[in-house]
Amino acid sequence: MEAVPERRPLLSSSLPAATLKAPWWNGALDVLHCRLSHAAALLSLAGPWCWPKDRVSAACKDTPPWSPRSPPGSSTMALLASLKSLFILQLLMGFVFVVSGLIINFIQLCTCVLWPVNRQLYRRVNCRLSYSLWSQLVMLLEWWSGTDCTLYTDQATVDNFGKEHVIIILNHNFEIDFLCGWTMCERYGVLGSSKVLAKHELLKVPLIGWTWYFLEIVFCKRKWEEDRDTVFSGLSRLKDYPEFITKGFTTTMQCLKGTVTAVYDVTLNFQDKQTPTLLGIVNGKKYKADLHIRRYTVDEIPDNEQECATWLHKLYQEKDALQETYNKTGKFPGPTIIPPRRPWTLLNFLFWAAILLSPLINFACGVVVSGSPLLIIGFTIFLIIASVAIRRLIGVTEVNKTGSSYGNQEAKKEN
């Protein structure tokens, strides 16, 4: 993964977790959350039977929200969890993402006229446009589910974040590992310009593949004979953020020599042996992600292709050892740093929601008030199609569909 710094003020702090100072907006958001909590607590006095049975947790069924035995805030948290799992809210959020994505893709298409005139301007504009789309997914992780991301690394490494062109090697074991990576990119101001070496099938996926196409992402078929020319031509003009493959890594190092200054090895795992999913994030489930980061300068990596491949194999052996340590102890070695989240992802989503939801709600009310069976049936079919489409998009992140075949001997023989 290659991260080109965006020209945006770096608001995230690099201080150790123990000394981090919360940004001013966290206090304001806490006040807002407190007001909403009081309102939610009043609503909860109506009793758990106001909500569908499958939405109410066992704790709410056994203990009324007004019971003095309930832990402080437990009824509010249960109510918020129920709200997050409501299908209608999830459908509205999906509507905002899909429609805003189509608008962004259309604007990206219009920017193609800039390519022959000023390629740097074309790239800067598309970096901002892609940020507006990807940050909505980061918002789901940071603000909707409240997932925590903790870095295990030293201060010297953190001081370089967002200030250099790098390749990031991230293990692909979980459905939301890309979201955790994007979250760190966002907090250090490089989300819009981050790139990947993606498999060719993703090019056909609406929104995701289309946005990557305009970002000049290199799409590979995982067959070196067919991908050689694509990789070389793509890397000759780009600074990329590749997923791990031996040949892809060595080729990327050769093509980007003189541009990339370091390689970040990132090992990801989740506390309490959780198996996170994007569907869980959409349902508002909170996870705790730990990322162990090591920085290697380009000078530390061999230039020879065979030696470079050997170095990479050794690196993955060390990553396996780190995972074993984590599974035994529940943490990675080294100091921890928790970079604070920034408000831009939430503000970006609220911007799109304000623009898109108002006409949708007005239209839905008009359909209901009209009483026309044809309009109501048509709108219902639209909702069903929209929900299926969103579920298909979520399915793209499933590990068995996106995982690498590295290490699979049968796959190697076929390729």
Task: Spell out the domain ranges in the chain.
Answer: 93-337, 359-399
What does the alpha-carbon distance between residue 392 and residue 86 come to, in Å, rounded to a whole number?
19
The bridge status of strand 197-199 relative to strand 166-170 is: unpaired
Residue 26 pLDDT level (bands cut at 50, 70, 90): low
Q: Which two tokens stand for residue 365?
A: 């009310």
Q: Rounded to an integer, what distance in angstroms lies between the CA atom of residue 65 and that of residue 76?
A: 8
pLDDT confidence of residue 252: 81
pLDDT (0 to 100) of residue 72: 55
Tell me the mean pLDDT in the region 110-125: 95
pTM metric for this prediction: 0.72
The most confident of 25-34, 325-334, 388-397, 402-411, by mean pLDDT:
325-334
**Phi, psi dihedral angles at 307 (to 5 degrees):** -65, -35
What lies within 8 Å, CB to CB, of 150 at 6+ separation is 17, 288, 289, 290, 291, 336, 337, 338
Q: What is the pLDDT of residue 55?
A: 40
* pLDDT tens sequence across 42-62: 333 333 333 344 443 443 444
**What is the Cα 398 distance to its own chain's centre?**
14
Question: Quick check: 193 pLDDT over 60?
Answer: yes
* 307, pLDDT greater than 60: yes
pLDDT over threshold 60, residue 373: yes
Least confident stretch, 54-58, 254-258, 280-284: 54-58
Give the H/E segment covering residue 264: strand 262-270
3-state DSSP assignment of residue 21: coil
pLDDT at 388: 82
Q: Which CATH class is domain 93-337?
A: alpha beta
Distances (CA, A) of 71 to 34, 51, 216, 359: 16, 20, 52, 41
The three-point CA angle 301-302-308 to 5° equals: 95
Residue 270 bridge partners (DSSP) = 289
- Give pLDDT, residue 370: 86
> Which amino acid is residue 368, in one-letter code?
V
pLDDT on residue 402:
44
Per-residue model confidence (pLDDT) at position 56: 39
Count CB atoms within 10 A of the CB of residue 299: 8
Please state the rounded mean pLDDT for residues 121-129. 96
- Where residue 407 falls (left for φ over 0; alpha for ψ -120 to 50; beta otherwise) is left
Residues 6+ apart with CB under 8 A from 133: 97, 100, 101, 104, 207, 211
Region 106-120: what's the mean pLDDT? 96
Mean pLDDT for the chain? 77
Average pLDDT over residues 4-19: 40
User: Taking 90 as the threshold, does the pLDDT of residue 110 lie above it?
Assistant: yes
Of the pLDDT bands very low, low, confident and very high (cuts 50, 70, 90), residue 73 is low
Lowest mean pLDDT among 14-28, 158-172, 188-202, 288-302: 14-28
User: Which whole number is the average pLDDT over 305-323?
Assistant: 90
Vertex 336, ends 19 and 155: CA angle to 5°? 75
